[in-house]
Structure 1
């Protein structure tokens, strides 16, 4: 097979219908950024919008901006925009808190809907923070957290299962669950699934209404490009909203927060899952990223993602065969990143970063590369593998500075 050349990659970029979106991001010169699945880059519009919120809305408007600038509506306004990205209806998504806090809310709210059951079920490879949250929630509810291998999930669902908690796209390998199929299986056991969509939104087409999703959370700072620590989102299907109540009875989740009633009365609908005062400057930054995502056809986005993945996989197999692929070959069973295993994956990633190719490492031995189609070019993939080939061929990764472990990997 003839290997694609740099010129071939550049030709693909010229034909790319999404190419213009790269100019909508502030990307540093001489850097190939392949870590948008950890932190999305800065949209060009965000600094202007945040500066306006600081100087005009906060500086001039002061407290009146809660009404006049729409601050008080931000969790719902941005939530409704995210709903359009994930195939939800208006009033089913709210932006609030972090993914961990939102996951806790949904587990604590939904598990009691199945009284008499004894366990929360999840898979062993789930994102560790999700496992920590689920363990704490299960302990509080007097339930067992049952953790099984992915292949055993279906067989593990039973009349003892109160709730299943899953991440659609695996944070290490990129493996993607079939949401619709898993929901059908769970429904056969009268079980609900809480889905973590943090590595899904902005990478794979989603249609939560069509696929029978009742409960989900997701991240704002990865593919939504909302900035470091951006607020997360929480989804509850309309039919379920007034049957459950958030375990965190905050004032923004009150039916009449500005009446200042001493007794808590949950707000109707999705509003009851709000808690404290929204972090407006973070909300403003997130909204700029979400607005950008709304311009994109999600199917076109994933089609390009599949092309980028295939180019990356082909080049690495030919030029760096010592890296073992761990991501699924089939686009229908993967998300938006590609991963390889190597005993010295950490050192390899550090050597790449020193050469201007930013990927990341996941324990114990995974080098992970986000291939976000909005700003990643085919040329970027070709050049990244070319640098990787040089690092492997000359064993540059063995230089001692690359073995020094940093706090954030």
Structure 2
């Protein structure tokens, strides 16, 4: 899946400025019609993971009325071009401002943030600094990195060959998703050696939400052994990255059962607990209809918890997802599943994508799965109304 292109190096834990940033005091404005702001100091001071301090000192504006700081946090998968933050200050010539990102504003280590300043004078004239950038880096540790094609592992504390060994383990796991040959965007893995240092953004279990999913970044914890729930969660999350990288669009999400089924294939199949839960669900015929499948993986959720109590079990839903993808693989092959994923990037509905790839819609897909799985056909009153899946 990943073409070989390796590099090993030490990540320097400092804020960096792009090579095209002009020397202090001579920065040109981004807009050629806006005069440049003569900066005496224009820098950031990072306090990972708590805050960023922006520092500005400038000259050349006799009566400044206001100063605006603009900075952008831009995920890889974004429909609005990222989040532009704008903060206004009184017309002072020296400004120090500390930004403490909220939980919703969190962004991962290794991400680049760009910023610029705009100063408005008493006469309404505007001067603007040239954009600069810094990398959000956990400066508490000296990081090592190992990259193979688009997959890069960053680690500290473990043995020197850890990154290479981890990539060597992950690669064949991800190659199980034969529908996709490679990723289109870089994927970063930051591996800490304990939970406390990793913080709340770490993905330690399969069910953990990844706050950095849109950035193609995952934070993990592995002391030294490449094993355990953390490794399973990492494989599962990377599979999501690969699928979403191909099918991301700003109109309709990929069906949850498809994403989870492919992620379970990357893991290597169902756990014994999932197989047991799936067998129990077969006995009482309690599987959730596909059009209702994107209800979150949580128990006691409104009407589905009453109508389909057993299908709210996460283990059953993982197993059902895996089984669905397995049937599609046997019926149509990996190549057509890959074509299905590619169709979603155009923003079409689930029904339209299924028809173009397989010649069947959501209900027909479900009927095919139930037939191959040896289940009775779904009763008409158990089929949710069209549109629940965006189709």
TM-score by length of 2: 0.24
Greater Rg by CA: 2
Q: Which has more strand, going by share of residues? A: 2
Q: Which has more helix, going by share of residues? A: 1
**Structure possessing the higher relative contact order (Cα contacts under 8 Å, 6 or more residues apart):** 1
TM-score by length of 1: 0.24
